[in-house]
Structure 1
Amino acid sequence: MRPAALPLLLISLLAPALAHASTLSVCTEASPDGFDVVQYNALTTTNASADVLMNRLVEFDATSGTLQPSLAQTWDVSPDGLNYSFTLRPDVSFHRTDYFNPSRLLNADDVLFSFQRMLDPAHPWHKVAASGYPHAQSMQLPSLIKSIDKTGELSLRFTLNRPDATFLATLSMGFASIYSAEYAAQLLAAGTPEKLNSQPIGSGPFVFKRFQKDASVRYSAHSNYFAGTPGVDNLVFAITPDANVRLQKLRRGECHIALSPKPQDVKAIEGDSHLQSVNTAAFMTAFVAINSQHPPLDQPAVRQAINLAFDKASYLQAVFENSAEAANGPYPPNTWSYATELPGYNHDPEKARELLKTAGLADGFNTTIWTRPSGSVLNPNPSVGAQLLQADLAKIGIQAEIRVIEWGELIRRAKAGEHDLLFMGWAGDNGDPDNFLTPQFACASVESGLNFARYCDPQLDKLIADGKRTSDHVQRSQLYKQAQQIIQQQALWLPLAHPTAYALTRKEVEGYQVSPFGRQDFAKVRLVP
């Protein structure tokens, strides 16, 4: 029996290595909400859908800071900034799966479908998204886009109602992904449009295989991908909420890449010859949103008191281990138009108590703090952060109950405005400061749910809108600096940190880069011996 067992043992030891030789496994921190990315705003959903399955007309290259061709080979903008004409690539194939067999390549009809479903309330697909289209609504696309006209099989023109300096960059965002109109028609004819969210089809580098909630998402390489076949045959998202477990899986070789590590995990792998860390300064802001529609948080003095009460230095040390820069406003200081002259809120509990007294709340009040259970780039240790805020608020008489809510439910209920104080983060998609201002502070974003401060002010709204109407950076900067002053004076957020984005990888991973926007590109990643 022993001689016979030896070959079987060798086979069992070799089989896992052979089976995973061209499978890239990525440990991620949460399940996606779904795969119809236009319906959602969570970065984990964008990563699992738009980033691997889809393409946009244009893509933003973080290294050069410029927009690059993608599905659109070329584009032209009219002198008045109202007409954008695109010419599409002629060689783009949609995914072929056991539930869809495309009969044609991508054309202008696919672009028309992808946008009209979001913009036209009469479109047969418009009501499929039960909660609406949060990004399209917050970016005000329905009022911005006057018409989209097909000018040829591979060409089309967007006509705007007003000039918008951010329009082209907006088209690089995940929600602007292009879908197959043919597949959508197939689903509608079958009476199963909801399957677009569970059985997605795109033109991107990977093809969807299957999803097991809170366990994994599996993909295979798109062999006809117009930008070249990906460097691995298969891609697996291993959904692992606990950062400690992600690191353990990485050490054991169960994952090749671990996303959103804790700062101490980055230090922990130093000297490990099998592991390495990659990082970049993130175009992100961690913050606590203060719901300005909930009394007494509707009073500016109360929101200011909360900012003054919080010991941000202690928070950065405890949660980020000083791997992040203190935030003073909505977007990072390396962003053009950043207002360096804003004073901020220094830690001053005594002044905070005085403000509460002037607001008629000398005895304090009760409120709630909402946070997620698992860590992320923007909140590496949710439990510790919430406890620190709770303790600091207690010192000025505010009794705050911590509520830990699963990520999907947290986002859904926060978009409905149910929260008081909400630990949240925002990642800009394209390097433009408006990518923070419009989604988080415009009046239209209160309706779409992305404005977590729930604040609508005509003056602030006008500054943001005027900033989008001009392409002059100097003029836009002046308008955005005024907007930042209002945001800070009103204390709509408790700004926390601008983190460094890290990922941990095994040494055999080649070609992976961390995006400052939190996006994921695995198309060029290879596994080398």
Structure 2
Amino acid sequence: MKQKFKNLMFVLMSVVVFFGYTSKLLAAKETIVIAQGADAKSLDPHSTNDQPSSRVSAQIYDRLVEQDTDMNVIPGLAEKWEQIDDVTTVFHLREGVKFHNGEPLKASDVKFSLDRMKKSPQVSHIIGAIESVEVVDDKTVKIKTAKPFGALTSHLAHTAASILNEKAVKESGDAYGQKPVGTGPYKFSNWQAGDRIVLVANEDYYKGVAPTKTVIFRNIPEGTNRTIGLETGEVDIAYDLEPVDKDMVRNHKKLDFVEEPSLSMTYLGFNTKKAPLDKVQVRQAIAYAIDVDSIVEAVYQGGAVKANSPIGPKVFGHNPNAKNYEYNPEKAKELLAAAGYKDGLKIKLWTNDNPIRRDIATIVQDQLKQVGIDVTIETLEWGAYLDGTARGDHDMFILGWVSVTGDADYGMYPLFHSSTHGGAGNRSFYSNAQVDELLDKGKNSVNPEERKEAYIKVQEIVQEEVPVFTIAYPSDNVGKQKNVKNFKMHPAGHHRVYGATVE
């Protein structure tokens, strides 16, 4: 009898342990852990425009309109809209949408968000064409542009054009970037600076509650460590794997490697307000001294193509015939001598703690040494790097730009217009009246051919004057566990997690 009782207890305990273990597994499946190479700078979409921040913000907020993975503009918080004339568009908001703090979405929140965005030095240029935002009623907003603006809806789909709750922003004040409130599929839970940001599913999301209850964004700067996280199962999705790790992930029986063309480019920027980089000949010399093919092969290992323009082939307005600098160190030496630097010069090159950019910096340092340019590399923390280049403390720097809207206006206006010096994008502090005029023309036209003609000319000028030397068009990649389903990459790089599951 005692033995039977013991056997029964053993079975019962085994069942308890089994179900306890199973419940733990089920609980684990309610969480997706995503590793990226830098921590967010802020979750206030009006205070920064960097990719690590946008990748998190994209889960918290919605926009009036969205762009799908084919870059088509689709309804967002506005279920429909109509263009009244060349400068007026009316947007009709969805019924029943709530912010994470329980406040209903109203037209006044849209006006507040876009008006606030227009005052931001970091992102105002994105909707600089907007003259006024008018509340017609609680569910209707009228947006007027000062002039015709062909890319309006594409720009309103930008993560910086996310709709904020007026009450939440005013209550949090300067701390809002650490207390974001949106209408998106995930709500902000907590932020352990330098380590992780935790989001939880929004139970009131208008499209339906997300199947995965928790999303954790981990800050893992070293690409190899992100790959190790995949191997150990600590990480479900890892963004931006290093080329050296690609084959390992491809060949791992439990992992998938996904690589797709993006809207991004990597560039070497020059502070055109500082000698000797204020001379076009010096900038051209540096461009001729860099062997881009070797960088693409050694650093990207097939995950990028050589660039000939600040915008890539997937972006509207790309000029396939813009000047392409071929490796020519002798030409570089001639240009340096003509600029008064026959005996060489010394210069500093900034980069952030990004393995690919560090590798590029090392190669550039070596190649420039061959033509008499002594380069000192300085590596800065991401926030300090953005702040310093916004102030103009640098000489040269390595950075990327994503033409998030798929349109040349966004791809070039922030980088080259004289009104966007610093944090808004023009960290080269470049000014050219003709470029300004052409960029304004492209922005203020609704004629696609007229716009394209203006942008083609801009690319010809900037490739000749070289305020930035565009190196490559990298592909986006992610590594993920095979049991992660329904995760789709977005060409703009801020991939949406909504709908993804771990099976």
Report the TM-score when normalising by structure 2.
0.94
- Contact kept, 8 Å, 1:284 with 1:428, in 2: the verdict is yes
- Contact kept, 8 Å, 1:90 with 1:105, in 2: the verdict is no
- Contact kept, 8 Å, 1:280 with 1:515, in 2: the verdict is no
Alpha carbon RMSD of aligned pairs, Å?
Answer: 1.9
Matched ranges for 1:420-499 at <5 A: 420-446=395-421, 448-499=423-474
Q: What is the CA-CA distance between 1:42 and the residue it aligns to?
A: 0.7
- The residue that corresponds to 1:228 in the other structure is 208
**Higher alpha-carbon deviation: 8-17 or 69-78:** 8-17
- The residue that corresponds to 2:374 in the other structure is 399
Q: What is the CA-CA distance between 1:237 and the residue it aligns to?
A: 0.9
Does structure 1 residue 84 correspond to structure 2 residue 89?
yes
Q: What is the CA-CA distance between 1:526 and the residue it aligns to?
A: 1.2
- Aligned partner letter, 2:108: D
- The residue that corresponds to 1:62 in the other structure is 69
Query: Kindly tell me: are residues 199 and 336 of structure 1, through their superposed partners in 2, closer, same or farther at Cα, counting changes over 3 Å?
Result: closer
- The residue that corresponds to 2:168 in the other structure is 183
Matched ranges for 1:274-293 at <5 A: 274-293=254-273
Does structure 1 residue 350 correspond to structure 2 residue 338?
no
- The residue that corresponds to 1:500 in the other structure is 475
Q: Distance in 2 between matches of 1:335 and 1:450?
A: 18
Q: What is the CA-CA distance between 1:11 and the residue it aligns to?
A: 8.3
- The residue that corresponds to 1:313 in the other structure is 293
Q: Distance in 2 between matches of 1:42 and 1:184?
A: 20
Q: What is the CA-CA distance between 1:387 and the residue it aligns to?
A: 1.0
Q: Distance in 1 between matches of 2:38 and 2:232?
A: 20
Gaps of 5+ in 2: 1-9
Matched ranges for 1:5-24 at <5 A: 16-24=24-32
Matched ranges for 1:89-128 at <5 A: 89-96=94-101, 102=102, 104-119=103-118
Q: What is the CA-CA distance between 1:251 and the residue it aligns to?
A: 1.1
Query: Kindly tell me: are residues 116 and 442 of structure 1, through their superposed partners in 2, closer, same or farther at Cα, counting changes over 3 Å?
Result: same
- Aligned partner letter, 1:233: K
- Contact kept, 8 Å, 1:417 with 1:449, in 2: the verdict is no
Q: What is the CA-CA distance between 1:322 and the residue it aligns to?
A: 2.5
Q: What is the CA-CA distance between 1:86 and the residue it aligns to?
A: 0.7
Secondary structure in 2 matching 1:148: strand
Gaps of 5+ in 1: 97-101, 121-131, 376-380
Give deviations 1:98-152, integer Å, cap 9, x for gaps: xxxx3x41010111111222336xxxxxxxxxxx43111x3362xx332221111
Secondary structure in 1 matching 2:123: helix
- Contact kept, 8 Å, 2:130 with 2:144, in 1: the verdict is yes
Q: Distance in 2 between matches of 1:172 and 1:118?
A: 13
Q: Distance in 1 between matches of 2:185 and 2:23?
A: 27
Does structure 1 residue 134 correspond to structure 2 residue 122?
yes
Q: Distance in 1 between matches of 2:164 and 2:337?
A: 55
- The residue that corresponds to 2:5 in the other structure is none
Percent identity at matched positions?
A: 26
- The residue that corresponds to 1:39 in the other structure is 47
Q: What is the CA-CA distance between 1:447 and the residue it aligns to?
A: 5.2
**Higher alpha-carbon deviation: 432-441 or 16-25:** 16-25
Report the TM-score when normalising by structure 1.
0.90
Q: Which runs of 4+ in 1 moved over 3 A?
A: 6-16
- The residue that corresponds to 2:6 in the other structure is none
- Contact kept, 8 Å, 2:308 with 2:320, in 1: the verdict is no
- Aligned partner letter, 2:123: H
Q: What is the CA-CA distance between 1:429 and the residue it aligns to?
A: 1.1
Q: Distance in 2 between matches of 1:285 and 1:456?
A: 21
Does structure 1 residue 217 correspond to structure 2 residue 193?
no
Of 173, 198, 203, 2:183 maps to: 203
Q: Distance in 1 between matches of 2:348 and 2:283?
A: 14
- The residue that corresponds to 2:147 in the other structure is 162
Give deviations 1:338-368, integer Å, cap 9, x for gaps: 2222231110000100001111110111111
Secondary structure in 2 matching 1:298: coil
Q: Distance in 2 between matches of 1:293 and 1:111?
A: 38
- The residue that corresponds to 1:303 in the other structure is 283
Q: Distance in 2 between matches of 1:306 and 1:15?
A: 60
Matched ranges for 1:408-419 at <5 A: 408-419=383-394
Q: Distance in 2 between matches of 1:476 and 1:117?
A: 28
Q: What is the CA-CA distance between 1:36 and the residue it aligns to?
A: 0.7
Does structure 1 residue 266 correspond to structure 2 residue 246?
yes
Secondary structure in 2 matching 1:133: coil
Q: Distance in 1 between matches of 2:338 and 2:153?
A: 47
- Aligned partner letter, 1:263: P
Q: Distance in 1 between matches of 2:95 and 2:17?
A: 51
Does structure 1 residue 153 correspond to structure 2 residue 138?
yes
Q: What is the CA-CA distance between 1:448 and the residue it aligns to?
A: 4.5
- Contact kept, 8 Å, 2:392 with 2:422, in 1: the verdict is no
Give deviations 1:210-268, integer Å, cap 9, x for gaps: 00011111111111101121120111112111111111111111111011101222211
